[in-house]
Structure 1
Amino acid sequence: MGVVIRLGRISYVNMAPVFHRLMHEVEEISGVPTELNRMLLAGEIDIAPISSIEYARNATRLRLLPRLCVSSEGAVDSIQLVTRMPLGRVRSVAVTPESATSVVLTRVLIPRAELLPLEAAADADAKLLIGDAALKSAFEDPTPHYDLGRLWLERTGLPMVFAVWAAPEPVVDGLLQLQEALVASVRLARSEPERLAYEASERYGYPPGFLARYFEKLRYSFGPRERAGFYTFLEMARDVGELAQVPELRFLQDEEVPVA
Protein backbone atom coordinates (compact mmCIF):
# COMPACT_ATOMS: atom_id res chain seq x y z
CA MET A 1 0.00 0.00 0.00
CA GLY A 2 1.54 3.30 -1.11
CA VAL A 3 1.58 6.55 0.78
CA VAL A 4 -1.66 8.53 0.42
CA ILE A 5 -1.04 11.71 -1.59
CA ARG A 6 -1.82 14.98 0.21
CA LEU A 7 -3.89 16.86 -2.38
CA GLY A 8 -4.63 20.57 -2.04
CA ARG A 9 -8.09 21.80 -2.98
CA ILE A 10 -8.91 25.47 -3.52
CA SER A 11 -11.88 26.13 -1.25
CA TYR A 12 -13.86 27.90 -4.00
CA VAL A 13 -16.63 26.45 -6.13
CA ASN A 14 -14.32 26.44 -9.19
CA MET A 15 -12.86 23.14 -7.98
CA ALA A 16 -16.19 21.28 -8.13
CA PRO A 17 -15.62 19.77 -11.62
CA VAL A 18 -12.12 18.54 -10.72
CA PHE A 19 -13.33 16.81 -7.56
CA HIS A 20 -16.76 15.84 -8.96
CA ARG A 21 -16.06 12.09 -8.95
CA LEU A 22 -12.40 11.78 -8.00
CA MET A 23 -11.80 8.02 -7.89
CA HIS A 24 -8.43 8.09 -6.19
CA GLU A 25 -7.51 7.80 -2.54
CA VAL A 26 -6.08 11.13 -1.35
CA GLU A 27 -5.87 13.23 1.77
CA GLU A 28 -7.77 16.36 0.72
CA ILE A 29 -6.51 19.63 2.22
CA SER A 30 -8.61 22.72 1.53
CA GLY A 31 -7.63 26.40 1.59
CA VAL A 32 -7.70 29.68 -0.32
CA PRO A 33 -5.04 29.97 -3.05
CA THR A 34 -2.47 31.85 -0.97
CA GLU A 35 -2.78 29.28 1.84
CA LEU A 36 -2.24 26.40 -0.59
CA ASN A 37 0.72 28.22 -2.13
CA ARG A 38 2.38 28.47 1.28
CA MET A 39 1.63 24.87 2.26
CA LEU A 40 2.90 23.50 -1.05
CA LEU A 41 6.18 25.41 -0.83
CA ALA A 42 6.57 24.31 2.80
CA GLY A 43 6.17 20.67 1.78
CA GLU A 44 2.97 20.28 3.79
CA ILE A 45 1.05 19.04 0.73
CA ASP A 46 2.26 16.95 -2.20
CA ILE A 47 0.33 18.47 -5.10
CA ALA A 48 -2.06 21.41 -5.46
CA PRO A 49 -3.33 24.05 -7.84
CA ILE A 50 -0.98 26.95 -7.19
CA SER A 51 -1.36 30.59 -8.28
CA SER A 52 0.31 31.05 -11.65
CA ILE A 53 2.55 33.84 -10.42
CA GLU A 54 3.66 31.88 -7.34
CA TYR A 55 4.59 28.92 -9.51
CA ALA A 56 6.74 31.23 -11.64
CA ARG A 57 8.45 32.73 -8.60
CA ASN A 58 9.32 29.25 -7.31
CA ALA A 59 9.65 27.28 -10.55
CA THR A 60 13.09 25.86 -9.73
CA ARG A 61 11.54 23.95 -6.80
CA LEU A 62 8.41 22.70 -8.52
CA ARG A 63 7.19 20.37 -11.27
CA LEU A 64 3.96 20.88 -13.21
CA LEU A 65 1.25 18.43 -14.13
CA PRO A 66 1.15 18.66 -17.94
CA ARG A 67 -2.58 18.22 -18.46
CA LEU A 68 -4.29 20.43 -15.87
CA CYS A 69 -4.69 24.12 -15.07
CA VAL A 70 -7.48 26.51 -14.11
CA SER A 71 -8.16 29.01 -16.88
CA SER A 72 -10.78 30.86 -18.87
CA GLU A 73 -10.97 32.22 -22.38
CA GLY A 74 -12.86 35.40 -21.65
CA ALA A 75 -15.12 36.16 -18.70
CA VAL A 76 -14.51 33.98 -15.66
CA ASP A 77 -17.08 35.57 -13.25
CA SER A 78 -15.04 34.76 -10.13
CA ILE A 79 -12.41 37.50 -10.53
CA GLN A 80 -14.08 40.91 -10.48
CA LEU A 81 -12.96 44.52 -10.23
CA VAL A 82 -15.82 46.47 -8.67
CA THR A 83 -15.93 50.23 -9.26
CA ARG A 84 -18.31 53.04 -10.13
CA MET A 85 -15.54 54.75 -12.12
CA PRO A 86 -14.54 54.15 -15.74
CA LEU A 87 -11.52 51.81 -15.68
CA GLY A 88 -9.28 54.46 -17.22
CA ARG A 89 -9.78 56.71 -14.18
CA VAL A 90 -9.04 54.09 -11.52
CA ARG A 91 -5.92 55.08 -9.57
CA SER A 92 -6.21 52.81 -6.50
CA VAL A 93 -7.49 49.26 -6.03
CA ALA A 94 -8.13 47.47 -2.73
CA VAL A 95 -7.02 43.89 -3.39
CA THR A 96 -7.90 40.56 -1.80
CA PRO A 97 -5.19 38.79 0.21
CA GLU A 98 -6.44 35.43 -1.10
CA SER A 99 -4.94 35.36 -4.62
CA ALA A 100 -1.49 36.38 -5.77
CA THR A 101 -2.21 35.88 -9.49
CA SER A 102 -5.28 38.12 -9.51
CA VAL A 103 -3.36 40.91 -7.79
CA VAL A 104 -0.57 40.73 -10.37
CA LEU A 105 -3.15 40.57 -13.18
CA THR A 106 -4.67 43.77 -11.81
CA ARG A 107 -1.24 45.41 -11.93
CA VAL A 108 -0.74 44.20 -15.50
CA LEU A 109 -4.14 45.45 -16.67
CA ILE A 110 -4.19 48.72 -14.68
CA PRO A 111 -0.49 49.55 -14.24
CA ARG A 112 -1.06 53.09 -12.96
CA ALA A 113 -3.22 52.00 -10.03
CA GLU A 114 -1.88 51.83 -6.48
CA LEU A 115 -2.71 48.53 -4.80
CA LEU A 116 -4.10 48.79 -1.26
CA PRO A 117 -5.16 46.16 1.31
CA LEU A 118 -8.81 45.11 1.10
CA GLU A 119 -9.63 46.76 4.43
CA ALA A 120 -8.88 50.09 2.70
CA ALA A 121 -11.69 49.49 0.19
CA ALA A 122 -13.62 52.55 1.44
CA ASP A 123 -10.71 54.77 0.38
CA ALA A 124 -9.95 53.06 -2.94
CA ASP A 125 -11.38 53.77 -6.38
CA ALA A 126 -12.05 50.04 -6.91
CA LYS A 127 -11.87 46.73 -5.10
CA LEU A 128 -10.71 43.34 -6.37
CA LEU A 129 -12.71 40.29 -5.36
CA ILE A 130 -12.03 36.67 -6.25
CA GLY A 131 -13.58 33.27 -5.84
CA ASP A 132 -16.90 32.92 -4.08
CA ALA A 133 -16.83 36.52 -2.82
CA ALA A 134 -16.62 37.72 -6.43
CA LEU A 135 -19.46 35.43 -7.52
CA LYS A 136 -21.62 36.61 -4.62
CA SER A 137 -20.87 40.27 -5.38
CA ALA A 138 -21.61 39.91 -9.10
CA PHE A 139 -24.86 38.18 -8.14
CA GLU A 140 -26.00 40.75 -5.56
CA ASP A 141 -24.25 44.11 -6.01
CA PRO A 142 -25.51 46.45 -8.78
CA THR A 143 -22.20 48.37 -8.83
CA PRO A 144 -20.44 47.84 -12.21
CA HIS A 145 -18.16 44.80 -12.26
CA TYR A 146 -15.22 44.36 -14.63
CA ASP A 147 -14.31 40.73 -15.25
CA LEU A 148 -10.52 40.33 -15.36
CA GLY A 149 -10.77 37.26 -17.58
CA ARG A 150 -12.63 39.31 -20.18
CA LEU A 151 -10.22 42.24 -19.87
CA TRP A 152 -7.28 39.86 -20.33
CA LEU A 153 -8.78 38.32 -23.47
CA GLU A 154 -9.45 41.79 -24.91
CA ARG A 155 -5.82 42.75 -24.24
CA THR A 156 -4.09 39.59 -25.47
CA GLY A 157 -6.51 37.39 -27.43
CA LEU A 158 -5.42 34.45 -25.25
CA PRO A 159 -6.79 32.39 -22.35
CA MET A 160 -5.83 33.48 -18.85
CA VAL A 161 -4.29 30.74 -16.71
CA PHE A 162 -5.06 31.52 -13.08
CA ALA A 163 -3.57 28.40 -11.51
CA VAL A 164 -1.38 25.46 -12.47
CA TRP A 165 -1.04 22.10 -10.69
CA ALA A 166 2.40 21.84 -9.14
CA ALA A 167 4.36 19.47 -6.91
CA PRO A 168 7.46 20.29 -4.86
CA GLU A 169 10.64 18.38 -5.63
CA PRO A 170 11.40 15.64 -4.88
CA VAL A 171 7.95 14.65 -6.12
CA VAL A 172 6.05 11.80 -4.48
CA ASP A 173 5.17 8.67 -6.41
CA GLY A 174 1.81 8.32 -8.11
CA LEU A 175 1.17 11.90 -9.27
CA LEU A 176 0.65 11.02 -12.93
CA GLN A 177 -1.90 8.38 -11.92
CA LEU A 178 -3.63 11.01 -9.77
CA GLN A 179 -3.59 13.37 -12.75
CA GLU A 180 -5.44 10.76 -14.82
CA ALA A 181 -8.07 10.46 -12.08
CA LEU A 182 -8.49 14.26 -11.93
CA VAL A 183 -8.84 14.47 -15.73
CA ALA A 184 -11.41 11.65 -15.63
CA SER A 185 -13.37 13.55 -12.96
CA VAL A 186 -13.46 16.67 -15.16
CA ARG A 187 -14.60 14.61 -18.15
CA LEU A 188 -17.42 13.07 -16.15
CA ALA A 189 -18.44 16.48 -14.77
CA ARG A 190 -18.61 17.81 -18.35
CA SER A 191 -20.76 14.86 -19.38
CA GLU A 192 -23.36 15.47 -16.64
CA PRO A 193 -23.52 19.27 -16.21
CA GLU A 194 -26.91 19.27 -14.48
CA ARG A 195 -25.78 16.82 -11.80
CA LEU A 196 -22.57 18.82 -11.29
CA ALA A 197 -24.53 22.07 -10.94
CA TYR A 198 -27.07 20.62 -8.48
CA GLU A 199 -24.44 18.97 -6.28
CA ALA A 200 -22.28 22.10 -6.27
CA SER A 201 -25.39 24.15 -5.45
CA GLU A 202 -26.02 22.02 -2.38
CA ARG A 203 -22.42 22.43 -1.22
CA TYR A 204 -21.86 26.11 -2.03
CA GLY A 205 -25.36 27.62 -1.96
CA TYR A 206 -25.61 29.24 -5.40
CA PRO A 207 -28.54 28.50 -7.76
CA PRO A 208 -27.82 25.52 -10.05
CA GLY A 209 -28.44 27.51 -13.24
CA PHE A 210 -25.99 30.19 -12.13
CA LEU A 211 -23.35 27.53 -11.43
CA ALA A 212 -23.98 25.72 -14.71
CA ARG A 213 -23.19 28.93 -16.61
CA TYR A 214 -20.13 29.54 -14.42
CA PHE A 215 -18.70 26.06 -14.99
CA GLU A 216 -19.08 26.51 -18.75
CA LYS A 217 -16.62 29.42 -18.56
CA LEU A 218 -13.89 27.50 -16.74
CA ARG A 219 -11.21 25.48 -18.53
CA TYR A 220 -9.03 22.81 -16.96
CA SER A 221 -7.01 21.54 -19.93
CA PHE A 222 -3.42 22.85 -20.15
CA GLY A 223 -3.26 22.89 -23.94
CA PRO A 224 -1.13 24.92 -26.38
CA ARG A 225 -3.31 28.06 -26.19
CA GLU A 226 -3.33 27.94 -22.39
CA ARG A 227 0.43 27.57 -22.33
CA ALA A 228 0.78 30.54 -24.70
CA GLY A 229 -1.49 32.60 -22.45
CA PHE A 230 0.50 31.49 -19.40
CA TYR A 231 3.81 32.57 -20.93
CA THR A 232 2.27 35.89 -22.02
CA PHE A 233 1.03 36.58 -18.49
CA LEU A 234 4.45 35.79 -17.01
CA GLU A 235 6.17 38.06 -19.55
CA MET A 236 3.81 40.92 -18.71
CA ALA A 237 4.25 40.28 -14.98
CA ARG A 238 8.00 40.54 -15.49
CA ASP A 239 7.55 43.78 -17.43
CA VAL A 240 5.66 45.42 -14.52
CA GLY A 241 8.28 44.28 -12.00
CA GLU A 242 6.32 41.41 -10.41
CA LEU A 243 8.62 38.65 -11.65
CA ALA A 244 12.41 38.63 -11.95
CA GLN A 245 12.45 36.35 -14.99
CA VAL A 246 10.13 34.08 -16.96
CA PRO A 247 11.00 30.50 -16.01
CA GLU A 248 11.10 27.42 -18.16
CA LEU A 249 8.02 25.26 -17.56
CA ARG A 250 9.20 21.96 -16.09
CA PHE A 251 6.65 19.15 -16.31
CA LEU A 252 6.43 15.86 -14.49
CA GLN A 253 6.30 14.19 -17.88
CA ASP A 254 6.24 15.73 -21.33
CA GLU A 255 2.74 15.09 -22.64
CA GLU A 256 1.70 17.33 -25.49
CA VAL A 257 -1.93 16.25 -25.89
CA PRO A 258 -3.88 17.33 -22.80
CA VAL A 259 -7.49 16.23 -22.49
CA ALA A 260 -9.87 17.76 -19.96
Structure 2
Amino acid sequence: MIFGKIEYLNLLPFHLFLKRALRHGIEKKAWQKRGSVPSRINRAFEARRVDAAVISSIKSRGRECTDFGIVADGEVMSVLVLPGKSRRDTDSDTSNALASLLGIEGEVMIGDKALRYRLANPGEGIDLAEAWKERTGLPFVFARLCAHSRHIRRLRRLTQRFFTSPPKIPYRILRREAKARGLNAAELRNYLNKIYYRLGWREKRALKRFLRNERRGRRKR
Protein backbone atom coordinates (compact mmCIF):
# COMPACT_ATOMS: atom_id res chain seq x y z
CA MET A 1 0.00 0.00 0.00
CA ILE A 2 1.46 3.34 -1.07
CA PHE A 3 0.63 6.29 1.18
CA GLY A 4 0.54 9.91 0.12
CA LYS A 5 2.18 12.06 2.78
CA ILE A 6 1.22 15.64 3.65
CA GLU A 7 4.35 17.45 4.82
CA TYR A 8 2.67 19.49 7.56
CA LEU A 9 3.26 19.50 11.29
CA ASN A 10 -0.39 18.74 12.04
CA LEU A 11 0.19 15.10 11.07
CA LEU A 12 3.42 14.60 13.03
CA PRO A 13 1.90 12.04 15.48
CA PHE A 14 0.48 9.98 12.61
CA HIS A 15 3.74 10.14 10.67
CA LEU A 16 5.59 8.72 13.67
CA PHE A 17 2.99 5.96 13.93
CA LEU A 18 3.22 5.06 10.23
CA LYS A 19 7.00 4.95 10.36
CA ARG A 20 6.66 2.07 12.82
CA ALA A 21 3.46 0.50 11.48
CA LEU A 22 4.22 0.10 7.78
CA ARG A 23 5.43 -3.45 7.42
CA HIS A 24 7.47 -3.44 4.24
CA GLY A 25 10.54 -1.43 3.38
CA ILE A 26 9.13 -0.60 -0.05
CA GLU A 27 6.03 0.89 1.60
CA LYS A 28 8.10 3.07 3.91
CA LYS A 29 10.34 4.22 1.07
CA ALA A 30 7.37 5.10 -1.14
CA TRP A 31 5.63 6.96 1.71
CA GLN A 32 8.74 8.99 2.51
CA LYS A 33 9.19 9.98 -1.15
CA ARG A 34 5.60 11.14 -1.67
CA GLY A 35 5.50 14.13 0.65
CA SER A 36 3.65 17.16 -0.63
CA VAL A 37 0.92 19.72 0.09
CA PRO A 38 -2.79 18.80 0.42
CA SER A 39 -3.91 19.88 -3.06
CA ARG A 40 -1.21 17.79 -4.75
CA ILE A 41 -1.89 14.77 -2.55
CA ASN A 42 -5.57 15.07 -3.51
CA ARG A 43 -4.65 14.91 -7.18
CA ALA A 44 -2.29 11.98 -6.64
CA PHE A 45 -5.05 10.07 -4.84
CA GLU A 46 -7.63 10.82 -7.53
CA ALA A 47 -5.17 9.68 -10.21
CA ARG A 48 -4.47 6.49 -8.19
CA ARG A 49 -0.77 7.24 -7.94
CA VAL A 50 -1.19 6.55 -4.20
CA ASP A 51 -3.40 3.94 -2.57
CA ALA A 52 -4.22 5.84 0.61
CA ALA A 53 -3.85 9.39 1.87
CA VAL A 54 -5.15 12.03 4.23
CA ILE A 55 -7.12 13.98 1.63
CA SER A 56 -8.94 17.29 1.95
CA SER A 57 -12.41 16.78 3.40
CA ILE A 58 -14.02 18.46 0.41
CA LYS A 59 -12.44 15.76 -1.79
CA SER A 60 -13.59 12.91 0.48
CA ARG A 61 -17.19 13.04 -0.71
CA GLY A 62 -18.10 9.59 -2.05
CA ARG A 63 -14.75 8.06 -1.04
CA GLU A 64 -14.09 5.12 1.27
CA CYS A 65 -12.67 6.68 4.40
CA THR A 66 -11.74 5.83 7.96
CA ASP A 67 -12.71 7.67 11.15
CA PHE A 68 -9.30 9.36 11.13
CA GLY A 69 -9.13 13.00 10.14
CA ILE A 70 -7.57 16.35 10.96
CA VAL A 71 -9.99 18.13 13.29
CA ALA A 72 -10.05 21.35 15.31
CA ASP A 73 -12.77 22.36 17.76
CA GLY A 74 -12.16 26.09 17.66
CA GLU A 75 -8.86 27.87 17.05
CA VAL A 76 -6.38 25.92 14.92
CA MET A 77 -3.77 28.65 14.10
CA SER A 78 -2.71 27.11 10.79
CA VAL A 79 -5.72 27.99 8.61
CA LEU A 80 -6.11 31.74 8.25
CA VAL A 81 -7.63 34.45 6.12
CA LEU A 82 -5.45 37.55 6.13
CA PRO A 83 -6.64 41.08 5.39
CA GLY A 84 -6.17 42.38 1.87
CA LYS A 85 -6.97 41.24 -1.64
CA SER A 86 -8.86 37.94 -1.89
CA ARG A 87 -6.49 35.17 -2.88
CA ARG A 88 -6.73 31.41 -2.71
CA ASP A 89 -3.96 29.26 -1.28
CA THR A 90 -2.92 26.88 -4.07
CA ASP A 91 -1.84 24.32 -1.45
CA SER A 92 -5.44 24.04 -0.23
CA ASP A 93 -8.81 22.73 -1.39
CA THR A 94 -10.95 22.59 1.76
CA SER A 95 -9.81 25.87 3.32
CA ASN A 96 -10.47 27.87 0.16
CA ALA A 97 -13.99 26.42 0.07
CA LEU A 98 -14.52 27.10 3.77
CA ALA A 99 -13.55 30.77 3.42
CA SER A 100 -15.99 31.12 0.53
CA LEU A 101 -18.77 29.37 2.43
CA LEU A 102 -18.29 31.63 5.45
CA GLY A 103 -18.19 34.72 3.23
CA ILE A 104 -14.76 35.74 4.52
CA GLU A 105 -12.67 37.70 2.03
CA GLY A 106 -8.91 38.07 2.03
CA GLU A 107 -5.84 35.94 1.47
CA VAL A 108 -6.22 32.28 2.49
CA MET A 109 -3.09 30.83 4.08
CA ILE A 110 -2.71 27.29 5.41
CA GLY A 111 -0.16 24.96 6.91
CA ASP A 112 3.17 25.62 8.58
CA LYS A 113 3.56 29.04 6.94
CA ALA A 114 0.21 30.11 8.40
CA LEU A 115 1.23 28.84 11.84
CA ARG A 116 4.46 30.85 11.69
CA TYR A 117 2.52 33.92 10.58
CA ARG A 118 0.01 33.64 13.44
CA LEU A 119 2.77 33.20 16.02
CA ALA A 120 4.62 36.24 14.67
CA ASN A 121 1.43 38.33 14.35
CA PRO A 122 -0.91 37.35 17.22
CA GLY A 123 -4.55 38.17 16.58
CA GLU A 124 -4.05 39.23 12.97
CA GLY A 125 -6.33 37.63 10.41
CA ILE A 126 -9.26 35.27 10.88
CA ASP A 127 -8.81 31.71 12.08
CA LEU A 128 -11.22 29.71 9.89
CA ALA A 129 -11.74 26.87 12.35
CA GLU A 130 -12.62 29.42 15.03
CA ALA A 131 -14.98 31.24 12.64
CA TRP A 132 -16.72 27.96 11.77
CA LYS A 133 -17.11 27.07 15.47
CA GLU A 134 -18.64 30.50 16.19
CA ARG A 135 -21.05 30.07 13.28
CA THR A 136 -22.11 26.46 13.87
CA GLY A 137 -21.03 25.42 17.37
CA LEU A 138 -19.28 22.44 15.78
CA PRO A 139 -15.69 21.32 15.20
CA PHE A 140 -14.29 21.45 11.69
CA VAL A 141 -12.90 18.47 9.79
CA PHE A 142 -10.15 19.64 7.45
CA ALA A 143 -9.14 16.26 6.07
CA ARG A 144 -9.90 12.54 6.18
CA LEU A 145 -7.82 9.41 5.79
CA CYS A 146 -9.18 7.54 2.77
CA ALA A 147 -8.14 4.63 0.57
CA HIS A 148 -9.09 2.90 -2.63
CA SER A 149 -11.37 -0.09 -2.10
CA ARG A 150 -8.91 -2.96 -1.85
CA HIS A 151 -6.91 -1.20 0.88
CA ILE A 152 -9.66 0.21 3.08
CA ARG A 153 -9.92 -2.74 5.49
CA ARG A 154 -6.21 -2.69 6.25
CA LEU A 155 -6.29 1.08 6.65
CA ARG A 156 -9.15 0.88 9.16
CA ARG A 157 -7.18 -1.66 11.19
CA LEU A 158 -4.16 0.65 11.16
CA THR A 159 -6.15 3.65 12.33
CA GLN A 160 -7.74 1.63 15.12
CA ARG A 161 -4.26 0.78 16.33
CA PHE A 162 -3.40 4.49 16.23
CA PHE A 163 -6.47 5.39 18.28
CA THR A 164 -5.78 2.63 20.79
CA SER A 165 -2.11 3.49 21.29
CA PRO A 166 -1.29 6.96 19.92
CA PRO A 167 2.47 7.53 19.87
CA LYS A 168 4.14 9.87 22.30
CA ILE A 169 6.41 12.33 20.54
CA PRO A 170 9.92 12.23 22.02
CA TYR A 171 11.17 15.67 22.99
CA ARG A 172 14.19 15.38 20.67
CA ILE A 173 11.85 14.84 17.69
CA LEU A 174 9.54 17.62 18.81
CA ARG A 175 12.50 20.00 19.08
CA ARG A 176 13.97 18.87 15.75
CA GLU A 177 10.70 19.28 13.83
CA ALA A 178 10.00 22.63 15.46
CA LYS A 179 13.46 23.96 14.63
CA ALA A 180 13.15 22.85 11.00
CA ARG A 181 9.98 24.97 10.70
CA GLY A 182 11.27 28.03 12.54
CA LEU A 183 9.40 27.29 15.78
CA ASN A 184 10.33 26.20 19.28
CA ALA A 185 9.21 22.99 20.97
CA ALA A 186 6.67 24.72 23.24
CA GLU A 187 5.00 26.41 20.26
CA LEU A 188 4.76 23.13 18.39
CA ARG A 189 3.35 21.27 21.40
CA ASN A 190 0.75 24.00 21.94
CA TYR A 191 -0.24 23.78 18.28
CA LEU A 192 -0.61 20.00 18.32
CA ASN A 193 -2.83 20.26 21.39
CA LYS A 194 -5.36 22.18 19.26
CA ILE A 195 -5.72 19.27 16.82
CA TYR A 196 -7.24 15.83 17.21
CA TYR A 197 -7.81 12.96 14.84
CA ARG A 198 -10.85 10.85 15.72
CA LEU A 199 -14.19 11.50 14.01
CA GLY A 200 -17.14 10.85 16.30
CA TRP A 201 -20.77 11.82 15.76
CA ARG A 202 -20.16 15.57 16.23
CA GLU A 203 -17.32 15.60 13.73
CA LYS A 204 -19.32 13.58 11.18
CA ARG A 205 -22.28 15.90 11.65
CA ALA A 206 -20.01 18.91 11.10
CA LEU A 207 -18.48 17.34 7.98
CA LYS A 208 -21.89 16.53 6.54
CA ARG A 209 -23.04 20.10 7.16
CA PHE A 210 -19.97 21.57 5.52
CA LEU A 211 -20.21 19.37 2.43
CA ARG A 212 -23.95 20.00 2.07
CA ASN A 213 -23.67 23.77 2.44
CA GLU A 214 -20.62 23.99 0.19
CA ARG A 215 -22.47 22.16 -2.58
CA ARG A 216 -25.49 24.43 -2.21
CA GLY A 217 -23.23 27.46 -2.35
CA ARG A 218 -21.62 26.30 -5.60
CA ARG A 219 -25.02 25.74 -7.18
CA LYS A 220 -26.05 29.29 -6.38
CA ARG A 221 -22.95 30.83 -7.88
Shorter-normalised TM range: 0.7 to 0.9
Partner of 1:71: 71
1:10 pairs with one of 6, 11, 17: 6
The alignment partner of 1:241 has SS state of helix
Question: Counting strand residues as a fraction of each chain, which structure ranks higher?
Answer: 1
Identity %: 28
Structure 2 letter corresponding to 1:233: F
- Aligned-residue Cα RMSD (Å) equals 2.4
Q: CA deviation at 1:127?
A: 1.0
Establish whether residue 43 from structure 1 lines up as the match of residue 39 from structure 2: no
What residue number does 1:162 align with? Answer: 142
Greater relative contact order structure (CA < 8 Å, 6+ sep)? 1
**1:222 shift after superposition:** 1.0
Letter of the structure 2 residue corresponding to residue 134 of structure 1? A
Q: Distance in 1 between matches of 2:153 and 2:71?
A: 26
Contact 1:74–1:149 (8 Å) recurs in 2: yes
Which amino acid letter does the alignment assign opposite residue 77 of structure 2? D
Identify the match of residue 58 of structure 2 among 53, 56, 79: 53
Compare 192-201 and 208-217 and name the one that shifted more.
192-201
Deviation at 1:196, TM superposition (A): 5.8
Moved more, 169-178 or 72-81: 169-178
* TM-score, normalised by the number of residues in structure 2: 0.86
Conservation of the 8 A alpha-carbon contact between 2:64 and 2:152: no
Unaligned runs of 5+ in 1: 85-91, 114-125, 244-260
Count of residues in correspondence between the two structures: 211
- The residue matched to 1:217 in structure 2 has which SS? coil
Structure with greater helix share of residues: 2
Matched letter for residue 97 of structure 2: V
1:175 maps to 2:155: yes
SS in 1 for 2:86: strand
Alignment of 1:10-29 (within 5 A): 10-22=6-18, 23-25=20-22, 26=27, 27-28=30-31, 29=34
2:214 to 230, 237, 240: 237
1:95-106 counterparts in 2 under 5 A? 95-106=88-99
AA in 1 matched with 2:177? A
Name which of structure 1's ranges 142-151 and 228-237 shifts more when overlaid on structure 2.
Answer: 142-151
Deviations 1:80-122 (A, max 9, x none): 11117xxxxxxx51110111100000011117x5xxxxxxxxx
Moved more, 224-233 or 198-207: 198-207
CA distance in 2, matches of 1:203, 1:181: 29
- d(CA) in 2 for partners of 1:216, 1:171: 30
Aligned counterparts of 1:160 and 1:63: Cα–Cα separation in 2: 19
Aligned residue type for 1:42: A
Q: State the alpha-carbon separation in 1 of the partners of residues 193 and 16 from structure 2.
A: 15
Structure 1 length normalisation: TM-score?
0.74
Q: Distance in 2 between matches of 1:149 and 1:76?
A: 6
Correspondence for 1:139: 119
Change (3 A) 1:72 1:242: farther
User: Which string of whole-angstrom CA distances, capped at 9 and with x for unpartnered residues, describes residues 6-57 of structure 1?
Assistant: 111211111101112432223312110011100111111111011111112x
Structure with max Cα Rg: 1
TM superposition shift of 1:202: 4.2
In 2, the alpha carbon distance for the partners of 1:21 and 1:203 equals 20
Worse overlay, 35-44 or 24-33: 24-33
Work out whether residues 10 and 32 of structure 1, in 8 Å CA contact, stay in contact via their aligned partners in 2.
Answer: yes
